[in-house]
Amino acid sequence: MEKKRLNEFLLQLSKSYELIAPVKTDVVRFERVKNPETIHLEKNAYFPLKEYFFKKEEVLFTFTGNKIQETTLSSPKRAFFGIRKCDLNAIHHQDIVFMKDTQDPYYIAQRKNSLLLGYHCPSAPSPYCFCGSLDLIDFFDLMFYDKEDHFLVEVGSEKGKKLAEKYGKLFSPSTRLMTQADKVIPGADRLDKKDISAFYDHKDWKKGADICLSCGACTALCPTCYCFEIHDEVKAENVNKGERKRSWSSCQLQEFTRVAGDHVFREDREERFKHRIYHQLEYFKEKYGVQMCVGCGRCIDGCPTRIDFVDIINKMEHGKEETESKN
């Protein structure tokens, strides 16, 4: 596709779908786009796409006395353009949790009519990116590769194929085959150790834990974190009427593991700090065969004290010996 035809393609697409793409306001974020000229592809979005599918807060049902009214689920037709490889894989990982492992009707409804149109990073868009160090896959309907005056567009699904056929006049056939070399993102291979199982008791975790504020910014900005809490809300004037809501939560908050009797399973900050990283790189992979983390680096970029856990891991040595000397 010639670059000058991209806006025409997106405008045509917006007649059938709600077009969502990265736009630069105070920061770069995914928003509904009516004018493709406002789309910003120079930098990755500060906030991930997660909240479009797994909402920050949503009503599960309302109740009046002992009567329950279920929430009407809608499935808007949306085309997401400009999604980087990290965020595409993040959607894939949340699909595993909310569509394969558990059939979550709220998530499924939001994912049902979505088109995923990727934008391949010409180079790492952030100094904290490390997607090249992880086991990411091709997961998209269409992927746009920036090639100076044109985009090389790869079809990744049946939906993508039908889309390219529908708007065929805007594309021209290419005989070029995509290679793995074409898909490498320069500067995105920062993480040296993918297996950190031997380093759990390493003393260097304190470098991060000692300056961690337990604010939860890392999990809020993470495109893959899926922890939530459920609570009922009622008003004082009528306590028999209210809503049951689901909202994001964070393993970095002390109350996240608080149970009856006021016992907190991960009361120590270092335990919480390590738990998130091990869930991202180890525990999720043990269960589903792939790291939960996609290497976008948002948790580092958005951290108030700029904790670079990748740098901490890279500098760890002799994990088992450190454990023995500590004991």
Q: In whole angstroms, what is the distance from residue 209 CA to residue 238 CA?
A: 44
The pLDDT, as a whole number, for residue 101 is 87
Provide the sign of the torsion angle of the four alpha carbons 247, 250, 254, 256, taken in this order: positive
The pLDDT, as a whole number, for residue 85 is 97
Query: In the predicted model, is pLDDT for residue 325 greater than 90?
Result: no
Q: Are 203 and 326 in contact (CB under 8 A)?
A: yes
Query: In the predicted model, is pLDDT for residue 256 greater than 90?
Result: no
Percentage above 90 pLDDT, the chain: 84
> What's the pTM value of the predicted model, to 2 decimals?
0.92
The pLDDT, as a whole number, for residue 318 is 61
The pLDDT, as a whole number, for residue 236 is 87
Beta strand 78-83 pairing with 228-235: unpaired
The pLDDT, as a whole number, for residue 80 is 98
The pLDDT, as a whole number, for residue 267 is 85
The pLDDT, as a whole number, for residue 319 is 46
pLDDT band at 324 (very low <50, low <70, confident <90, very high): very low
Provide the sign of the torsion angle of the four alpha carbons 221, 224, 227, 233, taken in this order: positive
pLDDT band at 234 (very low <50, low <70, confident <90, very high): very high
The pLDDT, as a whole number, for residue 285 is 96
Long-range contacts of 313-320 (CB under 8 A, 24+ apart): 313/191, 313/192, 313/193, 313/196, 313/199, 313/277, 314/190, 314/191, 314/192, 314/193, 315/204, 316/193, 316/196, 316/199, 316/202, 316/204, 319/196, 319/198, 319/199, 319/200, 319/201, 319/202, 320/198
Query: In the predicted model, is pLDDT for residue 314 greater than 90?
Result: yes
